[in-house]
Structure 1
Amino acid sequence: MDKLVQHDATPYEQIIYKARHRVIDSLARNIDLYGITMSIGHLYGTLLFQDKPMTLDEMGEALGMSKTSMSTGVRTLLDLNMVNKVWMKGTRKDHYEIEQDWYQNFIDYFSIKWRKGIDDNIQSLRKSLQELKTLLSKDDLPTPLQEMVQADIEKIKNSLEYYDWLNRLIDTFESHEIFKYVPKKEGAE
């Protein structure tokens, strides 16, 4: 992170660099909420304060990290729709910039993660529900086990109802309908 501080900067520039550094460190420390490592958080924060898109080489130089590390970090951020690849005239190198709309970052990230988790859980619940219904149809199933299976079926049905609700909640994020209920501040993207 020392590469971000300009030692020959004026006192005013030092204040700017210090403020940026504080924000970048804070982002990096807290980005684990998104399941992202601290080093990728530093990369994201560095890109945030750039006036132009950066190449992997420029990122590596700014952060004192290898091009391979930068590539891995950028790939993670691309997969989460937090970074965009941009075309720059006159160069064959890839350039990257952050997605400036943090509302959309949140929506994209959590929609991707939540939908994956929901799909995995629904598959398990449906398979278990089918197995339990098949077991319940057995004529020789003892009454205490029938009661246990019935109770489990109800729990699974309640879980499926929850995941249906969660899918509908995600739909409100993706359609931006959520902003009817929780509006963005005036002037926000």
Structure 2
Amino acid sequence: MTEQLPNQEWEKYQNTIEQFIQVIAKNMNLYGVTPSIGRLYGVLYFAEEPMTLDDMREALEMSKTSMSTGVRALSDMKMVEPSFKKGVRKDLYKSEEDWYKSFTSLFGSRWKHHTETNIEEADETIYELNKLKEQTTDEELRQKIDTDIERLVYAQDYYRWLMRFIHVVESGEIFEYVPKIEENRTKRNE
């Protein structure tokens, strides 16, 4: 009976961690990540030691190719990094445990790309509308074009502001305004 109790406790522990990993996986879509890659990150985050692709495949019962693709995606997002252990010849990986760092990197790269695209599209649209305005004799259309160009200029102003915000996040300045919360981790490690 006493031997069964510790096994039940370990099973309860595993189930509790698995539930949290499922939540991570489900919510990773906010970052443009599939649930399977989110599960991979969760497994790496709770792993005591860096893992090989074989370790990950075994833990998640997925193909080695899927693991490799997932690790590459997480690495590109700065959420996983290579690791080294003397005597181990296979590639090892561990999770980036600084979620603040991961967020600023991921947020910056994803938002910057989309914002730059929106700025370029607004520029192009203004250019095309101005060409059309010069060619048309329809006064109502000219007025509509002027109104729409004003809207596009407003959008550009917003996108330029957003680029400044992205810079504040990427550079880490954001933590001057919204400091990291580290007290729980400090208490846990005492």
Alignment TM-score, normalising by the size of structure 2: 0.88
- Offset, 1:46: 0.5
Coordinate RMSD, CA, aligned: 2.0
CA 1:113–1:8 in structure 2 vs 1: closer, same or farther (change >3 Å)?
A: farther
Distance 2:50 2:5 in 1: 24
Secondary structure at the aligned position of 2:124 is classed as helix
Q: Tell me, which stretches of 5 or more residues in structure 1 are unaligned?
A: 1-6
- Per the TM alignment, residue 35 of structure 1 is displaced from its structure 2 partner at its CA by 1.6
Q: Superposition pairs for residues 36-185 of structure 1, below 5 Å?
A: 36-138=33-135, 140-185=136-181
Secondary structure of the corresponding residue to residue 10 of structure 1: helix
Q: CA deviation at 1:56?
A: 0.4
**What code does the residue aligned with 1:176 have?**
G
Deviations 1:8-40 (A, max 9, x none): 962332232122111111111211111211111
Question: Which amino acid in structure 1 is aligned with residue 24 of structure 2?
Answer: L
- The change in CA–CA distance for 1:83 and 1:9 in structure 2 (over 3 A counts) is farther
By percentage of residues, which structure has more helix?
A: 2
Q: 5+ unaligned residues in a row in structure 2: which ranges? A: none
**Regions of 4+ moved over 3 Å:** 186-189
What is the SS of the residue equivalent to 1:81?
A: coil
Q: 1:135, 1:141 within 8 Å by CA — same for their partners in 2?
A: no
Q: Which residue of 2 aligns with 1:13?
A: 10
Secondary structure of the residue aligned to 1:137 is: helix
Q: Percent identity?
A: 42
For 2:131 and 2:73, locate their aligned partners in 1 and report how far apart those are by CA, in whole Å.
43
